[in-house]
Chain A
Amino acid sequence: MLRNLVRFHNCLGHAFSPPTVCPRGQMFKLLPLLSVNSKSYSIITERKKFYEDVSISHGEGGMFEINLDRRKLKTPGGKLFTAPNEALAIAVANEWDTQKDMLKFYSMHMTTLCNTALDNPTFRSKDQMITAALKYLETDTLCYRVEEPPSLVELQNNEWDPVLNWIEDRYNVVIGSSTSILGPEIPQATMDTFRQHLGSYNFWSLTGLEYVITQLRSVVLAFALIDKHITVEQAVLLSRLEEEFQIGHWGNVEWAHDVDLYDLRSRTAAGALFVHFSSESSTVKRKLMQE
């Protein structure tokens, strides 16, 4: 049963409104109606494209804004969308530019990440995010090993051990892996080291990092990716190691496995890029050529 309300608003800024049904029961597919005081995030997945050109412009405080035709993009929370640097702004603008007749919000990962960082709809603080990220370490994918079949055990050892060794060396910590149902015992010193390291990231980077950890289901892999030790494709492969093993054994199902694979890749790539753009600052120093 479709029940929708029709609301009109006269201002140029807008939040997205759900599909509407006119009293006669005819379905108008996603009229560009504007809603008043939409406090909650609407759950619309698609909308008609209502602009032609996408461009970016400088805003206040060195932030960048996105312009759709002549209107400025806003977050679902109603705030003006601002990106801290040009690279991020261009990535977001490109996402909007990619859309054809229908806007598919579920494919716009950079925009979603920026919106989350700007709106912070669940009111999380840096400490909460760090705690949540470290909690994930206790159930890290790379630390949970199987005992059989032997070929999977070997695969896990060959692929996952190098990454574990790398992170243990890089951060001077002890993590270890385990085959028990309870998982590895992570010493407090490890947690402290990671907490201190994570504290050095700003809020935006932490948002991205948490996203990557959730997608990859592993803190170790997320760190390896963010520290540019492995590529996105490698991280996704290692995250899905057991699935890939089973696919190799039983065959690939395009509409399930491939869809998952590309979805995970795009989300992880977006997260990694988001963290990279949020935590970098670049300057170009030109050296004069000596004749």
Chain B
Amino acid sequence: MASLASPLRLCRGILREIRAIKGLEYKQSLAYNYVLDQFRKNQITGERYCRAQEEALHASHSYLCLLTSTRQHMALYDMYHGKGQRDTEEMAGIVGLRLPTQPGGKGWEK
């Protein structure tokens, strides 16, 4: 995608994601320092077409995609995913009933 190919946009994108995750103390997080470090290291190269630089760019694009899509997936998951069934006691309680108790324990329980 040409729109995200520039290292600056990728770097900003990743740092923005990290800030979205961590909140206020994002600058102290592991990932923040590592990412900035990597971007700085790969910035200067003597060759016109540096394969390592291209690879690093692709990797950072993938990482940005990972962070964004995980966040978006979890947002949709929280919104739409079913909460699962309630416990039998709770369900009985909703209609005002109680489960019967068996003092000796049911046959198959320890």
One digit per residue, 1 when the CB lies within 8 angstroms of any chain B CB and 0 when it does not, for chain A 141-184 equals 00000000000000000000000000000000000000000000
Query: How many residues of B are counted as interface, with CB atoms below 8 angstroms from the partner's CB atoms?
Result: 36
- Cβ of A132 within 8 Å of any chain B Cβ, yes or no, is no
| A 1-54 contacts with B by CB, 8 A | 1-3, 23, 25-27, 54
B70 / chain A contacts, CB cutoff of 8 Å? 98, 107, 109, 262, 266
Q: How far is the CA of A259 from the CA of B69 in the complex (A)?
A: 10
The answer, among A56, A90, A232, for a CB contact under 8 Å with B65, is A232
The answer, among B30, B77, B79, B87, for a CB contact under 8 Å with A55, is B30
Contact A276 B76 (CB under 8 A): no
Q: How far is the CA of A26 from the CA of B93 in the complex (A)?
A: 13
Contact B34 A262 (CB under 8 A): no
Contact B30 A266 (CB under 8 A): no
Which of B30, B41, B62, B87 counts the most chain A CB atoms within 10 A? B62
B27 / chain A contacts, CB cutoff of 8 Å? none
Q: Which residue of A lies closest to B46 (CB)?
A: A287
One digit per residue, 1 when the CB lies within 8 angstroms of any chain B CB and 0 when it does not, for chain A 211-235 equals 0000000000000000010011110
A3 / chain B contacts, CB cutoff of 8 Å? 109
B18 / chain A contacts, CB cutoff of 8 Å? 94
- Cβ of A255 within 8 Å of any chain B Cβ, yes or no, is yes
Q: How far is the CA of A138 from the CA of B22 in the complex (A)?
A: 44
Contact B63 A259 (CB under 8 A): no
B106 to chain A, nearest CB (A): 10
Contact B69 A284 (CB under 8 A): no
B97 / chain A contacts, CB cutoff of 8 Å? none
Q: Given A269-B63, A273-B63, A276-B59, decide whether A259 and B34 contact each other with a Cβ distance below 8 A.
A: no
**Prevailing SS type, chain A contact patch:** helix
Contact A107 B73 (CB under 8 A): yes
Contact B69 A266 (CB under 8 A): yes
- Cβ of B58 within 8 Å of any chain A Cβ, yes or no, is yes
- Cβ of B6 within 8 Å of any chain A Cβ, yes or no, is no
- Cβ of A280 within 8 Å of any chain B Cβ, yes or no, is yes
Q: How far is the CA of A93 from the CA of B31 in the complex (A)?
A: 8
The answer, among A110, A234, A258, for a CB contact under 8 Å with B76, is A258
A23 / chain B contacts, CB cutoff of 8 Å? 109
Q: Given A104-B74, A233-B65, decide whether A228 and B54 contact each other with a Cβ distance below 8 A.
A: yes
Q: Which residue of A lies closest to B78 (CB)?
A: A104
- Cβ of B52 within 8 Å of any chain A Cβ, yes or no, is yes
B38 / chain A contacts, CB cutoff of 8 Å? 87
Contact A259 B30 (CB under 8 A): no
Chain B residues near A (Cβ < 8 Å): 1, 4, 18, 21-22, 29-31, 34, 38, 41, 46, 52, 54-55, 58-59, 61-63, 65-66, 69-70, 72-74, 76-77, 79-80, 87-89, 99, 109
Please name 7 pairs of A and B residues whose Cβ atoms are closer than 8 Å in the assembled complex, sorted by A.
Answer: A27-B87, A93-B30, A94-B31, A97-B29, A98-B70, A263-B69, A272-B62
What 9 new A-B contacts, CB under 8 Å, besides A94-B29, A259-B77? A1-B88, A86-B34, A90-B31, A97-B31, A98-B21, A231-B1, A231-B58, A262-B72, A280-B55
